[in-house]
Amino acid sequence: MRTRRFAPLIASLSVAMATITMQATAVAQEGLFNHQLRRLHSSETIDLAKRFAGQPVLVVNTASHCGFTGQFKELEAVYQLYKDKGLKIAGFSSDDFKQEAGSEAEAAEVCFVNFGVSFDMFASIHVRGPKAHPLFREIARQSEEPRWNFHKYVIDRNGKVVATFPSRVEPDAAEVRKAIEQVL
């Protein structure tokens, strides 16, 4: 009999907990993507929250003169394979490992002309250490800092890093595709 008396209270607490969880998820998404960054070799600024919040995203730190630069080809192939299912890819140019082109024009040529990149590429930022952009500080807090260029992070619709892959793992490797498919 006492159980029935507490049923409305238990139901109210359940609704309150669900609401708090949804609000926490929204804050996590905002925290990760609450930034505006300039496109690579462009004056256009992109609001990352509008572009990526609530979407599955593959985040990659890139460089134009790295032994892994050829991965742009596989990144583009992965993007073409999954973009209609909602996947976004965000490439963040960085010279933290001293392998980015000397100019944005040259970096853009490598990405867009040499490899036909059509996913979002952003102007050079710091991705590790004390100068890391807040986006990458949050990614590192949730997982790890990039150890080299072309470190890959699979981020779910809630703004959580669910998988990371080092540079040597190709973007179209089975384990990367599996992680992407799990967040679609």
pLDDT value at residue 22: 44
Neighbouring C-beta atoms of residue 77, cutoff 10 Å: 14
Catalytic residue among 26, 46, 49, 66: 66
pLDDT in tens, the chain (184 residues): 555 666 666 666 565 555 554 444 444 445 799 999 999 999 999 999 999 999 999 999 999 999 999 999 999 999 999 999 999 999 999 999 999 999 999 999 999 999 999 999 999 999 999 999 999 999 999 999 999 999 999 999 999 999 999 999 999 999 999 999 999 9
Instruction: Give the span between the Cα atoms of 138 and 71, in whole angstroms.
Output: 24
| Distant-in-sequence contacts of 19-27, Cβ < 8 A, 24+ apart | 25/158, 25/159
Q: Is 66 a catalytic site residue?
A: yes
Whether the CB-CB separation of 155 and 32 falls below 8 Å is answered with: yes
Sign of the dihedral defined by the CA atoms of residues 8, 11, 15, 21, in that order:
positive
Which CATH code for domain 30-183?
3.40.30.10
pLDDT value at residue 21: 43
Instruction: Give the span between the Cα atoms of 96 and 121, in whole angstroms.
Output: 16
Q: Which two tokens stand for residue 146?
A: 């990039």
Whether the CB-CB separation of 91 and 115 falls below 8 Å is answered with: no
Residue in the block written with tokens 């890391």: 132
pLDDT value at residue 6: 63
